[in-house]
């Protein structure tokens, strides 16, 4: 043993960690993940302008390669609206209007899934394939990646919403009943004190990332449909 630690100290010392630590983790991680997300798409942006400028073999974008602006616009509108609803839901949560947040969260979830469905509909009806030139390549790769990120965002919205619904009758300081711990099957109680109180920080992190991804969606729409 030393002054700072002893092997004989009970492991329970790490249990019931204050939720503020995880709240900080979440807020910072959302911004870090947003910066990483930017670089996932930066590769496609680079490819877009590189291949468009190069236009080798003069096949950048044959005339029949023209994805539906209507479907693309609807998909990005759904994404932006979902992000806005999450943001408004956060405001509701801060104002203790929990049920209003849950409704907005549920609508946001539906909109995110709708955005992916619209993208799939676009692929199914677009009238060109991946072999139809560099624009088609970038279009398919970029939108596929965006769809994966939107699905990830939908997962995050769902988990936050599900926790909020499950503990809707409890205040943020409420003690989670035994047997409600997630993850480790051997664990009976959560290792974070008042995990229900993490809904708001999670919503804050989610909201900032959703707004960022909506921005990526708008950027995608401008580059792939308008330029």
Min CB(130)–another protein separation in Å: 4
Q: Binding of another protein at residue 198 (CB under 8 A)?
A: yes
Q: Binding of another protein at residue 191 (CB under 8 A)?
A: yes
Residues 26-55 interacting with another protein (rule: CB under 8 A): 28-29, 32-33, 35-37, 39-44, 46-47, 50-51, 54-55
Q: Binding of another protein at residue 141 (CB under 8 A)?
A: yes
Task: Please list, in sequence order, all residues whose beta carbon lies within 8 angstroms of the beta carbon of residue 93, skipping any fewer than 6 positions away.
Answer: 101, 199, 200, 203
Binding residue count for another protein, defined by CB under 8 A: 76
Distance CA 89, CA 85 (A): 6
User: Distance of alpha carbon 41 from its chain centroid, rounded?
Assistant: 15
Per DSSP, what are the bridge partners of residue 17? 192
Min CB(77)–another protein separation in Å: 25
Min CB(6)–another protein separation in Å: 6
Q: By rule CB under 8 A, what string of x and - marks binding of each residue 60-89 to another protein?
A: x-----------------------------
Distance CA 135, CA 133 (A): 6
Q: Which of 84, 88, 120, 145 binds another protein (CB under 8 A)?
A: 145
Check: CB of residue 209 under 8 Å from CB of residue 34: yes
Residues 81-140 interacting with another protein (rule: CB under 8 A): 129-131, 133-134, 136-138, 140
Distance CA 89, CA 107 (A): 10
Tell me whether residue 85 is exposed, middle or buried, using C-beta atoms within 10 angstroms of its C-beta: 0 to 12, 13 to 18, 19 or more: buried
- In the complex with another protein, the residue whose CB is nearer, 77 or 167, is 167
């Amino acid at each position: 043993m030393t002054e700072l630690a002893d092997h004989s100290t009970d492991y329970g010392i790490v249990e019931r960690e204050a939720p503020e630590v995880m709240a900080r983790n979440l807020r910072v991680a959302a911004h870090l993940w947003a910066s990483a997300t930017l670089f996932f798409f930066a590769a496609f942006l680079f490819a877009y302008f590189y291949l468009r400028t190069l236009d080798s073999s003069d096949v950048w974008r044959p005339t029949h390669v023209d994805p539906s602006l209507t479907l693309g616009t609807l998909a990005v509108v759904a994404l932006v609206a979902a992000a806005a609803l999450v943001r408004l839901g956060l405001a509701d949560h801060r104002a203790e209007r929990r049920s209003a947040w849950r409704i907005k969260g549920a609508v946001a979830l539906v909109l995110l899934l709708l955005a992916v469905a619209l993208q799939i509909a676009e692929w199914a009806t677009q009238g060109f394939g991946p072999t139809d030139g560099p624009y088609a390549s970038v279009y398919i790769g970029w939108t596929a990646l965006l769809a994966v990120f939107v699905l990830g965002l939908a997962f995050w919205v769902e988990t936050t919403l599900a926790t909020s619904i499950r503990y809707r009758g409890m205040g943020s300081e409420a003690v989670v009943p035994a047997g409600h711990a997630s993850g480790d099957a051997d664990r009976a109680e959560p290792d974070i004190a008042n995990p229900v109180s993490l809904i708001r920080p999670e919503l804050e992190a989610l909201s900032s990332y959703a707004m960022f991804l909506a921005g990526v969606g708008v950027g995608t729409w401008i580059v792939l449909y308008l330029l």
